[in-house]
Amino acid sequence: MDFEFTEEQVAIRDTIRELVQDRVAPRAAEIDEKAEYPKDIEKLFAENGILGIPFPEQYGGISGSSVTICMGIEEIAKACASSSLILAVQALGSYPILVAGTEDQKKRLCPPLASGEKVAAYALSETGSGSDAAAMKTRAKRYGNEYVLNGAKQFITAGSVAGTLVVFAQTDADADHRGISAFVLERETSPWQSSKLEHKLGIRGSPTAQLVFEDVKVPAANRLGEEGAGFKLALAVLDRSRPGIGAQALGIAEGAFDYALNYVKDRQQFGQPISTFQGIQFMLADIATQIEAARHLVYRAATKVDTKAPDLTKIAAMAKLFASDMAMKVTTDCVQLLGGYGYISDYPVERMMRDAKITQIYEGTNQIQRVVIARALLR
């Protein structure tokens, strides 16, 4: 299977590639060191239409295709994983609206996101409810034409900077996961509290927040789908966004490999470039092969999302699992290829290794991906 990207997709990718190399790559080390959300990069992406990629044209966007989203995330992640999350989370936070929203909701909520005026976030996880999403404690109680939300969410990427937040909450606590509903909170009218986790192993420029909801009022018009349909929606959204995490892992691995490949061609030991040693060559061959295999799986999964294929759940989980495991191994090996230089912050590869780890954990740990894959196989 070969991937025939459309001319338009290739044009979008090339534009992003150039923009990333010029404007994002030079900022990546500083973003990591200061652990600061790169508002300037968000603005850059907004101005250049990158935040509109997750949306079809009728909602103010430029694509809406998972393949295009993955191409964008991959290009950005090659230079800066933290920045790639700006696009990845824009897609994750918008999918619930695009998947379950009414025409009115889409027309109302999508354009400010597509233009980049606002960024989106997705709030599912709680302290006691990570892999077990159905155990969530956040409650939404209906009073007339509005709901009142109470509870807390944990590990919410961009939850502190988002203007639009999709929150999952129990509307019927007795109904287990069938009592979960989805709501869109707009910061101006339904403000929530957030505190940013200060320091993390990686993706340090992407704010991971704890969110608190104390009597937050949400208009009933901002409920997505029926009451009780939230859990199914949460899973459907994760199916669609997982190829994006695969693309992020792919980009991180490619960025590390590009650097390491140039390094081993330059670095002289024993009177010759270390790339002339077979031990190094075998590492390069294995790394490139793993990247290539992951690339195919990621874009195959993205194509499944775009064509709404019946096996998209399984293939999307496989892409996320394989690409993130690959990225962890490849970045660890790339640090190894640079030796002592790989371990110090003057070189970018140790950052990429730190960034890779989270791709094995978030949007469903890789253990959860295996559960999903096995369930699909045994159905």
Partner 1 sequence: MPLAEEVDRDHRFPIEAVTAAAGAGLLGVLIPSEYGGAGLDALAFAICIEELAQACASTSVIVDVHTSVGSEPILLFGTEEQKRKWLPRLASGELLGAFALTEPASGSDAASLQASARRTGDRYLLNGTKIFITNVGHAGLYVVFARTGPGEKAAGVSAFLVPSGTPGLRVGQVFKKMGLNGSPTGELVLEDVEVPAENRLGAEGQGFTVAMRALDSGRIGISGQALGIAQAAVDESRAVLVGRGREQGDDFMLADMSTRLESARLLAYHAAWLCSLGRPFTRQASMAKLHCTDTAMQVALDALQLAGEPGTVSGSPFERHVRDAKALQIYEGSNQVQRIVIAREVLR
125 contacts partner 1 (rule: CB under 8 A): yes
199 contacts partner 1 (rule: CB under 8 A): yes
C-alpha torsion sign, points 229, 234, 239, 240: positive
The Cα 348–Cα 185 span in angstroms is 37
The Cα 20–Cα 179 span in angstroms is 43
Which DSSP state fits 198? Answer: -
290 contacts partner 1 (rule: CB under 8 A): no
The Cα 292–Cα 267 span in angstroms is 25
Given candidates 201, 220, 285, 293, which one binds partner 1 under the rule CB under 8 A? 201
DSSP string, 236-250: HHHHHHHHHHHHHHH
Q: Are 243 and 54 in contact (CB under 8 A)?
A: no
What's the length of the chain? Answer: 379
Residue 240 CA to its chain's centroid (Å): 11
- Please tell me whether residue 60 adopts helix, strand or coil conformation: coil
Taking the complex as a whole, the smallest distance from the CB of residue 280 to partner 1 amounts, in Å, to: 7
Given candidates 202, 207, 243, 246, which one binds partner 1 under the rule CB under 8 A? 202
By C-beta, is 187 or 375 nearer to partner 1?
Answer: 375
Taking the complex as a whole, the smallest distance from the CB of residue 361 to partner 1 amounts, in Å, to: 5
**How many CB atoms are closer than 10 A to CB 43?**
12
Look-up: residue for tokens 């597509």?
114
Query: What token pair was written down for 293?
Result: 């295999």
Q: Are 358 and 206 in contact (CB under 8 A)?
A: no
# residues near partner 1 by CB under 8 A = 41
Burial degree of 103 (CB within 10 A; 0-12, 13-18, 19+): exposed
Q: Which of 63, 163, 184 is nearest to 120 (CA)?
A: 163
357 contacts partner 1 (rule: CB under 8 A): yes
130 contacts partner 1 (rule: CB under 8 A): yes
Query: What token pair was written down for 160?
Result: 């502190």
Encoded one letter per residue, x for contact with partner 1 by CB under 8 A and - for no contact, window 140-169 reads ---------------x--------------
Strands 223-224 and 208-219: unpaired
378 contacts partner 1 (rule: CB under 8 A): no
Given candidates 99, 258, 366, 376, which one binds partner 1 under the rule CB under 8 A? 366
320 contacts partner 1 (rule: CB under 8 A): no
Q: Are 50 and 57 in contact (CB under 8 A)?
A: no
Query: What token pair was written down for 164?
Result: 């639009």
Q: Which residue in the list 74, 126, 254, 363 is annotated as catalytic?
A: 363
Taking the complex as a whole, the smallest distance from the CB of residue 128 to partner 1 amounts, in Å, to: 10
- What is the footprint of partner 1 within residues 41-80 (CB under 8 A)? none
Encoded one letter per residue, x for contact with partner 1 by CB under 8 A and - for no contact, window 210-229 reads --------------------
Taking the complex as a whole, the smallest distance from the CB of residue 177 to partner 1 amounts, in Å, to: 16
Given candidates 70, 168, 350, 359, which one binds partner 1 under the rule CB under 8 A? 350
Residue 363 is among the residues annotated as catalytic for this protein = yes
361 contacts partner 1 (rule: CB under 8 A): yes
Which DSSP state fits 246? Answer: H
By C-beta, is 229 or 371 nearer to partner 1?
Answer: 371
Given candidates 143, 174, 215, 268, which one binds partner 1 under the rule CB under 8 A? 268
354 contacts partner 1 (rule: CB under 8 A): yes
Select the span of 4-12, 284-292, 306-314, 332-340 touching partner 1 (CB under 8 A). Answer: 332-340
Residues lying near partner 1 in the complex (CB under 8 A) are found at 125, 130-131, 155, 197-202, 268-271, 274, 279-280, 328, 332, 335-336, 339-340, 342-346, 350, 353-354, 357-358, 360-362, 365-367, 370-371
Active site residues: 363
